[in-house]
Amino acid sequence: MLTKAPRGTHDILPGEAAAWTYVEGKIRDLCRRYGYEELRTPMFEHTELFHRGIGEGTDVVDKEMYTFEDRGGRSITLRPENTASAVRAYLENKLYGDQSLVKLFYIGSMFRYDRPQAGRMREFHQFGIEALGEENPAVDAEVILVAIDFLQSLGLRDLSLSLNSVGCPKCRPAYRKALQDYFRPHLDELCDDCKSRFDRAPLRILDCKVDADKPFLAGAPNITDCLCDECKEHFAKVQAYLTEAGVSFTLDPRLVRGLDYYTKTAFEIKYAPLGAQSAVAGGGRYDGLIEEIGGKPTPAVGFATGLERVLLALKQQNLLPAAEETTDAFIVALGDAAKAPAFRLLTTCRRAGLTANMDYAGRSMKAQMKQANKHHARYALILGEDEVANGIVQLKDMEKSEQQSIKMEDVVAAIQS
């Protein structure tokens, strides 16, 4: 049926758009204060970017990407996330320049073929930030603070921050082996996906939703027991900076995030009132991604939050502001002779910065006044043949029901006064 949107997509209708504009305004104000600049990347990239960046064996790459061949025979993928795209833009456009730290934010559509659920569609929207070029753990803490401050700026209070370190290439092999040794006796009890992950990406087993409640999973080794000295020190400093900023958190050794590029810090923020789908933001450090994509070894850290889920939380908690629907002026044109002058007056009002509208259907005065009320107009500007002939307008204050005749050229000043 051509009049039905594809499954997993959603029209943002005029009544909803005001909420999106409100949230995006909060994002831009917050990023300005933290010094993050906006980046807009293409909605599709070469498929190899996500294979190399996100990693084989992840659900995103194996099951969820929208991939197709274009007319030139190239494999193209709609972006399933934006970190790999941001890194590609950072390298291609040499954004690093003379700066040691480049701070970027984005707002945009992402695409994953998955079962649509509350707050997560197949086309969904993310706000995220990327801080590239600095390994100082204070940057990790700053990124986490941006996520928390964003959610709190919207009025969300029941937030919980989970924190972990997923190690680095020096210490992760030992943890990988420890996991394989632990899960080997339980291979037959794992789901099919985790059986395939056992050799390729055993950390993914900890992130599995199917096996999450199986008793043996609780006894799996903790990565924090395998961290090298560098990762231990980095993780301790991240915690110290967050404590200094007054941020409470819970250490979660099972938190590994779903993408291969994460190193060291990993975090997730949950909003309890959302229930089972309570995760509203997550991210971490990805020091190896830029090198994997083709750049020099460069530290980086970031996060992303799904805007649909955030808006769902705001709606449930009645935290969205009432939309302002007032109109400064509604022009009421009576008779053919008044139509052109009314349109000229409409244009004059709009160019002066006023919100203005008029009836184009030539309805009766009563019907047009109803339209003025429907538009919540502050003033009705009434033009008939006599008004046009005398260069005047009947200015009616809709709230006070008071009406006066004023010159056409004085209308804007009268409304603005």
pLDDT tens-digit profile of 1-50? 578 999 999 999 988 999 999 999 999 999 999 999 999 999 999 999 99
Chain segment 289-327, per-residue pLDDT in tens: 999 888 999 999 999 999 999 999 999 999 999 877 789
- pLDDT (tens digit, 9 = 90+) per residue, 74-89? 999 999 999 999 999 9
283, 316, 349: which is the final residue of a domain?
A: 316
Identify the three-state secondary structure at position 207. Answer: helix
DSSP 227: -
Do 62 and 151 have their domain in common? Answer: yes
Asked whether residue 340 falls in the same domain as residue 311, the answer is no
Is 355 inside a domain boundary? yes
% the chain with pLDDT above 90? 70
- Same domain, yes or no, for 361 and 298? no
Q: For residues 234 and 140, give the distance between their C-alpha atoms in angstroms, rounded to a whole number.
A: 10
What does the buried/exposed string (b/e) look like for 271-288 if buried means 16 or more CB atoms within 10 Å of the residue's CB?
A: beebeebbbbbbbbbbbb
Among 291, 316, 341, the domain boundary falls at 316
**Where in the sequence is the domain holding 412, given as residue range(s)?**
327-416
Instruction: Write out pLDDT tens, residues 103-124.
Output: 999 999 999 998 887 777 999 9
d(CA 265, CA 57): 21
Mean pLDDT of 137-163: 97
- Number of compact structural domains in the chain: 2
What pLDDT, on a 0 to 100 scale, did the predictor assign at position 209? 74
Global model pTM greater than 0.75: yes
Lowest mean pLDDT among 129-143, 248-262, 369-383: 248-262
**Is residue 185 assigned to a domain?**
no
Same domain, 41 and 141: yes
Q: Both 144 and 254 in a single domain? A: yes
Question: What pLDDT score does 57 carry?
Answer: 56
Considering the domain architecture, whether residues 282 and 138 belong to the same structural domain is answered as yes
Q: Please tell me the predicted confidence (pLDDT) of residue 95.
A: 93
Shared domain check, 306 and 378: no
Check whether residue 146 and residue 270 sit in a common domain.
Answer: yes
Mean pLDDT rounded to a whole number for the chain:
91
- In DSSP terms, 402 is beta-bridged to 397
**CATH code of the domain covering residue 372:** 3.40.50.800
Mean pLDDT of 371-393: 95
> Residue 100 domain-assigned?
yes
Last residue of a domain, one of 316, 350, 379: 316
Looking at the structure, tell me whether residues 350 and 301 fall in a common domain.
no
Same-domain status, 310 and 332: no
Mean pLDDT of all residues in 166-190:
88
Q: Which residues contact 216 (CB under 8 A, 6 or more apart)?
A: 186, 189
In a domain, 75, yes or no: yes
